[in-house]
Amino acid sequence: MAAGPDVCNFGWKAPDFALPGVDGGTHSLDALRGGSGTLVAFICNHCPYVKAILDKIIRDAADLKDLGIATIAICSNDAVTYPEDSFDKMRALAEAQAFPFVYLHDEDQSVARAYDAVCTPDFFGFNADLELQYRGRLDASRASPGPDDLRRDLYLAMKQVAETGRGPQDQIPSMGCSIKWKAAA
């Protein structure tokens, strides 16, 4: 079932975290943040919405890096019920696709809860002060890839954030598979 996040809560401060990465390190938001902004993307391996735009996420992350914006990808899904989202499979995907960003594992789902992440993909675009400025879609793609010439909503919004510190007032929420929460203990 498709899910989507709420609209952007402008100025909301990014919660810090320390999560293991597929590169073998443990990474904090403060250590990874970009000089002009930071994009935190909740993604996973199995979601058809993520698969449909993964090449574009990689492209946009590389282009945003040139603007001083760091991209951080986090997988928070329950890997017991969704084995394709296991840490080992995350590592394999990151290596196969040559991710130009760190891919972090939120095994206890505390970071997804702190961010109030709803779906994969769910994008949180912060300015240099780690204030939320974008909570929208990458582009108009859905569970199947859209054409390459779609308007690059995420890239253009984050470019504006890098230039002005503010995101666009009009944002279209991302859509994707719901976060796969662990059963309550």
* 8-state DSSP, 82: -
Residue 22 lies in a domain: yes
Provide the domain count of the chain. Answer: 1
Assigned token pair, 71: 């991209």
Q: Is 184 helix (H, G, I), strand (E, B) or coil?
A: coil
**Cα 131 from Cα 68, distance rounded (Å):** 16
Residue 13 lies in a domain: yes
Residue 142 lies in a domain: yes
What are the distances in angstroms from CA 28 to CA 68, 98, 102? Answer: 18, 21, 11
Residue 184: per-residue pLDDT: 74
Residue 117 lies in a domain: yes
Residue 68 lies in a domain: yes
Q: Report whether 149 contacts 30 (CB < 8 A).
A: no
CATH of the domain at 84: 3.40.30.10
119-120 and 132-134 strand pairing? unpaired
Within 10 A of 49 (CB to CB), how many other CB atoms are there? Answer: 24
Residue 1: per-residue pLDDT: 52
102-105 and 37-42 strand pairing? unpaired
Instruction: Give the structural domain span for 74.
Output: 2-178
Residue 154 lies in a domain: yes
Residue 185: per-residue pLDDT: 54
Residue 185 lies in a domain: no
Residue 99 lies in a domain: yes
pLDDT by 10s per residue, the chain, length 185:
567 666 799 999 999 999 999 999 999 999 999 999 999 999 999 999 999 999 999 999 999 999 999 999 999 999 999 999 999 999 999 999 999 999 999 999 999 999 999 999 999 999 999 999 999 999 999 999 889 899 999 999 999 999 999 999 999 999 999 999 998 75
